[in-house]
Each structure stands twice: as structure tokens, then as C-alpha cells.
Chain A
Amino acid sequence: MTASSDSACRTSDVVLAARDIVKSYGNTHALKGVNFEIHRGKVTTLFGENGAGKSTLMKILSGVETPTSGSIVLDGEPVIFNSTVDARDRGISIIHQELSLAPNLNVRDNIFMGRELRTAYGVDFAEEARQTAALMTSLEEEIAPTTLIQALRLGQQQLVEIARALSVNSRILIMDEPTSALSAAEVELLFKVIRDLTSRGVSIVYISHHLEEALEITDYAVVLRDGNITAAAEAKDIDLEWVVRNMVGENFNLGSPPEGYDLGEVALSIDDVSIADAANPERSVVDSLSLDVRTGEIVCIYGLMGAGRTELMEAIAGRVPMTGGRILLKGQDISRLSIADRIERGLGLVPEDRQRDGLVQTMSVGANLSLASIGAFVRGLLMSRQDEHALVDNSIRDVHVKTAGGSAPIGSLSGGNQQKVVIGKMLMTEPRVILLDEPSRGIDIGAKAEVFRLLSERAAKGLAVLFSTSEVSECLSIAHRIIVMRRGKISAEFGPDVTKEQIMAASGEAVVA
């Protein structure tokens, strides 16, 4: 047990403990002797950057992987989990970030998937439905057992997933990033359910990148860094700064707005733009929004999931049609141009989902980098390999991609370096305006700082930068101006000297807190 953890918690409170867990993959040590405890009826939150070992630890606790050395103690007895079924039988369930429900089946069938209740003649649907209804009632979400999963909102799907875990009498529930796709109201509901579960004696392990949000629900905080537990404490004794300090190991500064030059003319003008909700065309997901970004300026859009940030970004880039308004690039209306034409004129988007929208996984680092600017190295009918290599090498140096070279497969890079490739691809087109939708998603804080430094350098050279984020600390870094979006509209606009509390209040987050 780590020295810093609270001596007040007696061993009887510990339902599951990992002792000196080491997990090695060849020469890589993902976990280096980790001691981790889960307290009965409490929420234990595991903080850590990407690659710190959080997922590996959770995989070991849920039986997906076996540790290289060390032991797991359940209720004071050492246990060995050979599979997730083993772990599940002992009351440990894990809910992954991406839900594992079959959308084409109904709630009842999902909850009993793989362990259907049998009668002599087949499946006992009536009993399954009865138990499902009882579970959903206990979660205070009355969903009919025969409702199809695809008809449910994400938050409700999450509850079905929880119901499934409870249906096997889970005493320990591991939740990996459960709120990443939820609306504020759904998060509130989830937290209420978690509180309810803990009051019934269920122990929760909670993992989240949304630090502020996670702290609200935490009873015990544990921080993992580079395969070691660096700190553990009760929630009442700690704050956000404590978490960040222990995660990062130093006081990390994401930078400040670049200075020493005057902002130029308006580069990008968003004029009265409205966008319909894809799921519900009656509703506007972006509602008559206007915003100007000037040459050399860095503007940050802050908003919760569902505030319309992604839709706005995609509409500016030309991916999503607008229902009203205009987009002006250097005074010219580009609203009707194709994506390719917009890139040609100097507008590039770094999309939110790197794997889905940013990278071609089957191609090399170099081919990914050069994909948006092939025209720059076409000679006659064919591409010039020499010119392409020169451009790619230049770009790799320019955005500091750590790779074996342009011909390395894109999958060989870490998340942060992949993100730099996506950004480098757009910078290679020599844009005047760059849009970045959650550029820090899924990358560690070191890479995050590098990305921000890069953007700030480019802005100083005359690039207009518009980026969105859902982390308040990122707003208060390099942005000259902070726009808060709420339900498709700009709810507030701040300078760089604003406080986190002001931003969160304007976004509607205060309601959750």
C-alpha cells in the first residue's frame, strides 16, 4: 500500500486489492509494481495520462490480461482471474468507453446476451423481461425491456450497460470514460446512479480524462504515471491542481497567447450560420452564429458535448451543409465551394476523431502527411517521389513528428504523433485559416503542449487559428479570445484573463456541479 494513502481506511474497507502488480510486454513495462485498492461502496478514481497504464491495470483487474507478477486479493483472499468470465463470476464487471451493446437487439436481449435464461422449450423471455424491468426500475430509468437499443439515447444505453453489469450481481464496477459521449443532463443522471450504487455497497472504479467532472464523483483518487502509482488520497484532501501535478509530475504550462504583433484583418468570417441537427432536422444544432477570426489570432471555442462545436467546424470546412448563413474567407464567400476548393483557398480542418476522419490507417506517415497537398508535387501527369519526400521530410521536422521516417506505417506512431501528422497534413497546404476540433483529444499532456506551441508559432507568422476544446484549462492557454458555445449559440466571449469558473458558468456546466 502506498505511503500517502489514508491510514484511516482499514483493510476491511478494501474489497479488492492489487499487490505489486508488474506487467511487461517484452522490454516494455506497462506497470512497475502497482499497489491499488478499491474501497467498498466508494468511488475510486484512477487518474493518469494516456499510456500511464490505467487500461492495463483495469484489464488485469477484470481478467482480460494476467499480470507478469504480483497478486490480486479479493475480500482478503488471493485470487487468479484467467478470463473475464472468471472475474465476472466473482462480481467484477467492466464497462468500456465504447459501449458493447448490440444496437439491433432490445434491452432485454442485451442484458441477457450470452447467458439467456433457459426453459425446456427455449429462452424464458418472460422472466428475462421481468428481471430487466426490475433492474431498470432500480436505476430509475423506466425503459421497456423490448425497446431496441438503437432507439435509446447514449446516456440510456450507458444505463443499460450498467444494468447488465448489475444483473450478474457485480460488486465492483469499472467504468472507463463513461461520460465522454454524454450530455450534461445525462452525466448528472449517471452520477446519481453511481451514488445510488455505492450506497448499495457497490464499489466503483472510475476512469476519466475530464478531471473536473471526475473529481465531483470521486471518494478516493489514485494517480498513475509511467506505470507507477504516484499519489493516492481521499477526495476531501485534494483539488484539481493536486491531480494535474501528480499526473504530469511538474507544473505544466500549456503556454500563453503569442504576443508582440498586431492582429491583421479578418481572415475567417462566420456570418449568421445555422446548421440543422442530423438526427432531428427540425432542430438547429448551430443557431444563427456569427464569429470573426483575424489573421494571427487564436480563438478557442469552449462548449460541452452537444453544444454544436463539431458541427460548426465541419460546416466551415464544407463537410456538413448549412441551413443558413455564409462563410467568408478573406472576404470571399466560400459557402458553396467543395472541401477541396476550400483547402485550395487556404482553409483546413483538423477533425475531432483522428482515427475516423484524420488518418488513412493503410498508408504510410508520408502519404498521410502529403494527402491534402498532392498538387504541390505533381510534375506533368505523375507525382514526383523526390519532391514528395522533400516535402514530407520537411513537414516531419516542422511539426516534430517522432517517426522512423516518412515510409513508416501510420499505426506505428503514438497518439500524439499521429495527431501531429494530421495537423502537419493541413499545415502543408499552407492555409490561412486552420480549424482544429478538439486537437488535444486522446493525446498526453506533453504532446498537447507541443501542439499548442506549434499553433502559437504559426499564429505569430500570420495564421488564423480557431480551435475547440472541452477542457477549460486548454482555453486558458494560447487563445487570444475565448468563445463559449451553448446550445448552438455563443453564450459568452472572454479575453485570456478570464477564470475557469466564468467559462464553466457560461457553458452551462455550473448546473451539473
Chain B
Amino acid sequence: MTDKRRNDSSPATAPARAGRFSGLSVGKLLLEGRAFFALIVIIIVFSSMSPYYFSLNNFLTMASHVAIYGILAIGMLLVILNGGIDLSVGSTLGLSGVMAGFLMHGVTLKTFGVTLFPSVWVVVIVACALGALVGLINGVLIARFKVPAFVATLGMLYVVRGVALLMTNGLTYNDLGGKAELGNTGFDWLGFNRLLNVPIGVLVLAAIALIFSVVLTRSVFGRWLYASGGNERAAQLSGVPVKKVQVYVYVISGVCAAIAGLILSSELTSAGPTAGTSYELTAIAAVVIGGAALTGGHGNIRGTLLGAFVIGFLSDGLVIIGVSAYWQTVFTGSVIVLAVLLNAVQYRRPGRRADKNGTGSISARTKDPASVTGAVTKKTAG
């Protein structure tokens, strides 16, 4: 008897929604696989416009560009699943490269009168640890001190960029190749070498994607993340350590940014303090195009990867067919807006009554699960 009884307002919207979509299963398919279809359309359009676009070599080159955004975006996805945002990743990427350049050029310890040239794996670990530290500061500010994620990471965006500029005095570290006699060669391996003809950066992206795909779908941490992003209060009362999860996602995001920074500076064999400026926005865009909800709880690795490829293949395609840089910006922006628009359609939930009230003042009632509720709760709790 109870299953037929719905909460007061749900019959109003549920059938209407079912009617809109079930009649148009093609529309539903297009909506859910939108990032995938967008990618196919992009490839078809550019292939028809330029003979150079559709070739394995070009795809691999574009993929190595995508790798940078993709790695940032995976870290960003975890943060967004948690209902947060990480604006500091672009700066962290830059700082990681600068730290690598600094170490490659030798650390002079005046008191001992020696200059140390750490080997490449030490450089990688130190850079990643630095990324983790930035993430830890973000996480602690947000989880422990309740600073809104937007503000905390915006602050770190400036601080970290400033530190990178201070370390280099605004200059760029060139020539990161290392010297054989110092035993620190091999840094360019990350950015230049290929394994089975695939750039190392792409392989790193694939590995990170695979790991986090399993983490999200199969590990306890993944379940905790989806739960605390969907409804922090409910997750907490179910025994989920929501604060710990929150700190971890920012740490992971920081490490991902550091890895991306290493790959980028290896590709360029130089590390500038302004590298990665505004990359955080590209990463957020990739996550959103991949169908994740900025309110948290919805999204997956596959979508985010597709999102990164859509952005990368689109902007490289525009370069190849010779569209001006200004138009590229317009196109990319339009794709992002469209993606957010489609997300809004997808996550429109039953029970959130269409507000036809003239003044717009009657609030959505909360008897039914409304995505609004989740978002509001999260804001007041975090």
C-alpha cells in the first residue's frame, strides 16, 4: 500500500519528467553520453576540415596535451564530488615545475659548502610532496577551520603562485636535462619519451585514471566520498569520517597538480613560475563537461576523461585549422556553458517543484529529496 503513495508533491513532477524522457530515449541517450558524442563530432568536423587532424601521430600529440589537463581534472573531480572546488591547482602545477627546476640546478648548502644535485626520483618525490602540502593546507583550512573552499583555494592560488615567483625571482629555469656526471639525467623522460609509441604523459594519465576509477567505484574511500558529497550530514551520522575525506581529496588534488607540473616542465624542458596559469579553470571545465555536478555526489572518471579530451581536441583542432586565438577562447567558453546547461537538465530532480509563483518567493518544499536541500545543507555545514 505504501509504495503507491508518494509524497505530496512528487506525483506532480515525476510523471511529467518520465514523459519528457521516456518518449525520447534517443534524447536521453544523447544527454547521458553527451561528452562522448561531442568528442566524436569534434573529431569528425576537424578531420573534414584539415587533412592533418585525423592521423595517429596528431592524436598522440593532442593526447599528450590532454594528459596535463586530464591529470588536473581527475584531482579536481574528487574535490568536486566532495562538493568543493580547488582553484589552486594551476599555481600548484607551476610551483611543482619550479621546485623541479630548482632541484635540478642543484641545492647549495652554504654551511657545508656543497651543492647537492638530487637524482630525478628524489626531485619527483619532493615535487609531489610539495603538491600534497598545498593540498593539506587547503584541506585543513576547509575541513577544520570551515573556510569556504572557493575562498581557501583562491587564497592558495595567490600564495602558491607568489612562492613560485619568489623562488625564481620571476625567471625561468631552463635546461632541465641534467648532467650525466652529476647523475641527475632523465628528467626529460617524462615529457619526451614514448613507450610503445605512446607519450609517457598519456600513460601516466591512463594509470592515474585507472587507479582512481577503482578507488571511486570499489574502495571504501570512494563510497565515503560519494556519500559525503551527496549529503555530508547523513554521511556523518552513518559514521563516515567526513572531515578526513575532505582533507584527503584536496591532498590528492594537490599531488595530481604536482604530477601535471612535472610532466609539463619535462615537456618544455623548462620551468617557469607562471606555468599553468588559469589551468584550474580548464580542469573544472573538463569535470563539468564530463557530467559531474558542482553540488557534489555525481560524476565519474570516464566522464571527466572525456571532458578533458573534448577540451583538448577542440582547442588543438582550432589551432590546426587556423582559427584565431580569440575565437578559440569564444568556442571553448561556449562549450563549457553548454555543458553546464545540459548538467542542469540532467540533475533536475523530481520533487523540485517548478516555481510558477509570480513573485518567485515561494520556496521549494523540502518534503521531497531536492538537490537544493543537499546543496544548502552542505554550505551551512562546510
Contacts and interface: CB of A to CB of B under 8 A. Distances in A.
B181 interface: no
Contacts of A385: 218
A374 B228 CA distance: 14
Contact of A64 (B297, B357, B374): B357
A372 B226 contact: no
A363 B230 CA distance: 7
Interface stretch (B11-19, B149-157, B279-287): B11-19
A414 B8 contact: no
Interface in B195-244: 214, 218-220, 223-224, 226-227, 229-231, 233-241
Contact of B374 (A25, A362, A447, A450): A362
Contact of A317 (B230, B237, B241, B365): B237
Contacts of A414: 2-7
A367 B226 contact: yes
Contact of A51 (B6, B19, B236): B6
A340 B220 contact: no
Q: Give chain A's interface residue range (CB within 8 Å of chain B).
A: 35 or more
Contact of A442 (B4, B241, B356, B367): B367
Interface stretch (A68-76, A299-307, A352-360): A352-360
Contact of A113 (B1, B19, B293, B359): B359
A361 interface: yes
A44 B17 CA distance: 34
A382 B351 contact: no
Contacts of A382: 214, 218-219
B7 A402 contact: no
B219 A383 contact: yes
A260 interface: no
A487 to B, nearest CB: 26
A363 B365 contact: no
A349 interface: yes
B221 to A, nearest CB: 10
Nearest to B362: A100
B233 A28 contact: no
B8 A56 contact: yes
Nearest to A343: B239
Interface in B307-363: 349-351, 353, 356-363
A152 interface: no
A27 B18 CA distance: 12
Contact of A371 (B3, B18, B235, B365): B235
A30 B16 CA distance: 14
* Interface range on chain B (Cβ under 8 Å from partner): 35 or more
Nearest to A374: B220
B1 A340 contact: no
A122 interface: no
B223 A371 contact: yes
A483 to B, nearest CB: 23
Interface string B72-89: 000000000000000000
A98 B363 contact: yes
A358 B238 CA distance: 8
A361, A416, A443 — most chain B CB neighbours (10 Å)? A361
A402 B238 contact: no
A96 B11 contact: no
A504 B16 CA distance: 44
A114 B360 contact: yes
A382 B220 CA distance: 7
B299 to A, nearest CB: 10
A55 interface: yes
A155 interface: no
A55 B12 CA distance: 10
Contacts of B11: 25, 28, 30, 56
Interface in A94-110: 94, 96-100, 102
A381 interface: yes
Which has the most chain A C-beta neighbours within 10 Å: B8, B235, B373? B8
B302 interface: no
B32 interface: no
A267 interface: no
Interface in B1-44: 1-9, 11-12, 14-16, 18-19
Contacts of A56: 8, 11-12
A344 B231 contact: no
B115 interface: no
B371 interface: yes
B15 A50 contact: no
Contacts of B219: 381-383
B227 A359 contact: no
B8 A55 contact: yes
B298 interface: yes
Contacts of A415: 5-7, 367
A30 B6 CA distance: 10
Contact of B16 (A25, A114, A361): A25
A446 interface: yes
B50 interface: no
Given A355-B366, A414-B3, A363 B233 contact: no
Contacts of B1: 446
A444 B7 CA distance: 9
Contact of B361 (A97, A114, A417, A418): A114
A84 B362 contact: yes
A102 B362 CA distance: 10
B361 A100 contact: yes
Contact of A355 (B224, B227, B373): B373
Contact of B12 (A25, A98, A418): A25
Contacts of B360: 114
A339 interface: yes
Given A84-B356, A383-B219, A402-B3, A359 B369 contact: yes
Contacts of B7: 50-51, 414-415, 442
Interface in A369-427: 371-372, 374-375, 378, 381-383, 385, 402-403, 410-411, 413-418, 425
B236 A339 contact: yes
A340 B350 CA distance: 32
A488 interface: no
A411 B237 contact: no
A405 to B, nearest CB: 13
B8 A360 contact: no
Contact of A367 (B9, B223, B353): B223
A367 B356 CA distance: 34
B237 A340 contact: no
Nearest to B14: A25
Contact of B239 (A59, A97, A372, A417): A372
B235 A49 contact: no
11 contacts: A55-B8, A56-B8, A83-B357, A85-B359, A96-B362, A100-B362, A114-B360, A356-B377, A382-B219, A403-B3, A416-B2
Given A85-B357, A355-B367, A411-B349, 15 more contacts: A30-B12, A51-B6, A96-B362, A99-B363, A100-B361, A102-B361, A339-B236, A355-B370, A356-B373, A360-B230, A362-B297, A363-B230, A374-B224, A403-B3, A410-B369
Q: Which 9 A-B pairs have the closest CB atoms?
A: A362-B297, A114-B359, A85-B358, A362-B230, A340-B239, A402-B3, A51-B5, A55-B8, A360-B230
